[in-house]
Amino acid sequence: MKFIVQGGLNKTGLKGSIRVPGDKSISHRSIMFGSLAEGTSHISGFLEGEDSLNTLRAFQAMGVSIEGPSAGKVTIEGVGMHGLKPPAQALDLGNSGTSMRLLAGLLAGQKFDVELSGDASLSKRPMKRVTDPLTEMGAVVATAEGGKPPLKITGNQTLKGINYQMPMASAQVKSCCLLAGMYAQGKTCVTEPAITRDHTERMLEAFGCDVDVSDSMACVTGPAKLMAADIDVPGDISSAAFFMVGASIADDSDIVLEHVGINPTRTGVINILKLMGADISCSNHQEVGGEPVVDLRIRSAKLKGIHIPEGLVPLAIDEFPIIFVAAACAEGQTIVTGAEELRVKESDRIQVMADGLKALGVDARATEDGMIIKGGEIGAGTVHSHDDHRIAMAFAMASLCSNGDIHIEDCDNVNTSFPGFAELAASCGLSIQVVNE
């Protein structure tokens, strides 16, 4: 599948009120915790994208009765912390690094052996970052060469609580350790070098597990248990980010994004765009399932280049492909540092975005831990997403300030996080054509 997106100069911008799909991080965790809880959990707003569906299928393969999803509603009959059954074959997690890393923690404490595998992209992603602390806890996890998937977990191990100083800021690593800690004897504490998203801590509390959080440390005491809960998944701020930038860079835009989660560990993209001069306002503040939710209104703005504060980088790590597009449309130079984590995402997002921007005539230079972008005119051209959903959607929005059409190759994986992206974007003004080859 590829996108052909019409250049947007001298056209009207994005308009209307829309609701983006449910938060992927929260959707993953709702399935995991609902499955391990005692009782029946009801989930609404569940993201029906391939990544979160792969998590759902994995728990079905381990004997959990899950009804749905139907219009975002899922009903889970929890089996308790030790009620999972050995799957008949390896659990194929597709493109989802979140599924693999979090499941590694949950399954390290089970009585049975299990193998976690994924697609070609996931099979290149680093897993030593989770297998190292799991091994320290007493788990037995084998990887392929270089610490890459598949992961082969040997069950029936006695796990012990540890104090783990994370070498990198990663919510997936933190979550993996905390979830294994629920099966360990004693207290497991994880200290992170920079604050990362805290959906795991918030949702564990919602399912009745005490999590002790102070500054940069989070702790759980095992053995723990979970009780069923009802979760309303808010709109994913990572998906909303494409429309935030699109509306900012296109003339005559005025769009409302309804029911978006603004967890304070995820609002880096809003703060970065505001520093660049974006016109973003919040209304209809609510709290749903422990998560703050608002409606976001975005209007056209003249963006300016900035040196993005490194403290905001971990709070916007998934949104950098579209932030790079904002920088390409801004006046002046934008410098990103401290973002080396982008090199081990679904693609090397630093290099792939730099290559794509250069193909469109933008002055973009990749650095070891970020990028230097001189804003200016975006031209027509063809870019390759390298099967990375966020790259594909970022370049689709780049067309709103391009002087010609943009062809984007390898867009199939957009459905991993944002099913219906092209249709929703078209409904508010993006001239996008989907071509199935």
The catalytic site residues sit at 318
The residues, ordered by sequence, that sit 6+ positions from 70 with a Cβ below 8 Å of its Cβ are none
CA-to-CA separations, 370 to 242, 317, 350, 374, in angstroms, rounded: 20, 11, 6, 14
Report angle CA 224, 229, 232 to the nearest 5 degrees. Answer: 130
Whether the CB-CB separation of 175 and 220 falls below 8 Å is answered with no
The residues, ordered by sequence, that sit 6+ positions from 214 with a Cβ below 8 Å of its Cβ are none
CA nearest neighbour of 191 among 215, 217, 167, 158 = 217
Which H helix or E strand runs over 100?
A: helix 97-107
SS3 content of the chain, % helix, strand, coil (to 5): 35, 30, 35
In 93-199, which ranges are E strands?
Answer: 114-117, 140-144, 148-154, 163-165, 186-191
CA nearest neighbour of 414 among 50, 69, 163, 31 = 50
